């Protein structure tokens, strides 16, 4: 994978996003290199920041005092967060590769993986807000980042996979649908674990 697509490419996602996706479409990066150079480092950012913020200040979900968690649970949560990030990015890439046949977008798996990482990058970098673990602050920062990511998805996908923008629109929407379903599954699983007695003590 050319350097143009590693972490160093991230600032250009703001300044010249389409150039980044064009560069991606012109290279055929190998999956494992993308994984180690882009996906893994990106996936580490939010959990590490959440750990630092949470142990220093405690999470404010609202409702009184900040929630100070013992270092052990904090570590567990951050680990789970990390695995969720890796799973989210790799599974999105897998879904993208799987759908590609329908939309005439078959490319090397590495391309799909890099696409997933680049599209998610704004939200991941905005997780810097985790250092101030207050829900409201996090929302203020993460939402514009999310909108930027959506924009990158719709504009960047056809560029990176070299398909017409109209087909790209269909595929991007299908991917957004997958992501929504994945997020809601994560919520459901988390909540079901809580009621099964795993996680915070809740009275059910």
> What residue ranges bind other proteins (CB under 8 A)?
61-64, 102-103, 135-136, 139, 143, 146-147, 150, 164, 166-167, 169-170, 173-174, 176-177, 180-181, 183-185, 187-188, 190-192, 194-196, 200-204
CA dist list (Å): 152 to 47, 122, 132: 23, 9, 26
End-to-end CA distance of the chain: 50
Q: Please report how close the Cβ of residue 55 comes to other proteins at its closest, in angstroms.
A: 19
**Residue placing its CB nearer to other proteins in the complex, 56 or 184:** 184
Burial group, residue 103, by CB count within 10 angstroms (0-12, 13-18, 19+): buried
CA dist list (Å): 144 to 8, 71, 175, 189, 194: 22, 31, 20, 27, 30
**Residue placing its CB nearer to other proteins in the complex, 15 or 201:** 201
Q: Please report how close the Cβ of residue 33 comes to other proteins at its closest, in angstroms.
A: 31
Q: Please report how close the Cβ of residue 63 comes to other proteins at its closest, in angstroms.
A: 4
**Residue placing its CB nearer to other proteins in the complex, 3 or 72:** 72
The helix (run of H) or strand (run of E) holding residue 107 is none
């Amino acid at each position: 994978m050319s350097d143009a697509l590693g972490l160093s490419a991230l600032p250009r996602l703001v300044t010249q996003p389409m150039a980044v996706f064009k560069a991606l479409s012109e290279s055929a990066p190998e999956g494992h290199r993308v994984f180690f150079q882009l996906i893994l480092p990106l996936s580490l950012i939010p959990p590490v920041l959440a750990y630092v913020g949470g142990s220093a200040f405690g999470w404010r979900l609202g409702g009184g005092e900040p929630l100070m968690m013992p270092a052990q649970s904090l570590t567990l949560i951050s680990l789970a967060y990390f695995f969720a990030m890796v799973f989210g990015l790799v599974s999105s890439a897998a879904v993208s590769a799987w759908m590609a046949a329908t939309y005439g977008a078959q490319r090397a798996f590495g391309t799909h993986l890099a696409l997933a990482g680049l599209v998610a990058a704004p939200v991941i970098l905005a997780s810097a807000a985790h250092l101030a673990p207050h829900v409201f602050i996090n929302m203020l920062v993460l939402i514009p980042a999310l909108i930027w990511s959506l924009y990158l998805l719709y504009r960047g996908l056809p560029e990176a996979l070299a398909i017409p923008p109209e087909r790209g629109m269909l595929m991007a929407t299908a991917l957004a649908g997958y992501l929504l379903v994945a997020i809601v599954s994560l919520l459901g699983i988390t909540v079901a674990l809580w009621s099964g007695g795993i996680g915070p003590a809740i009275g059910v």
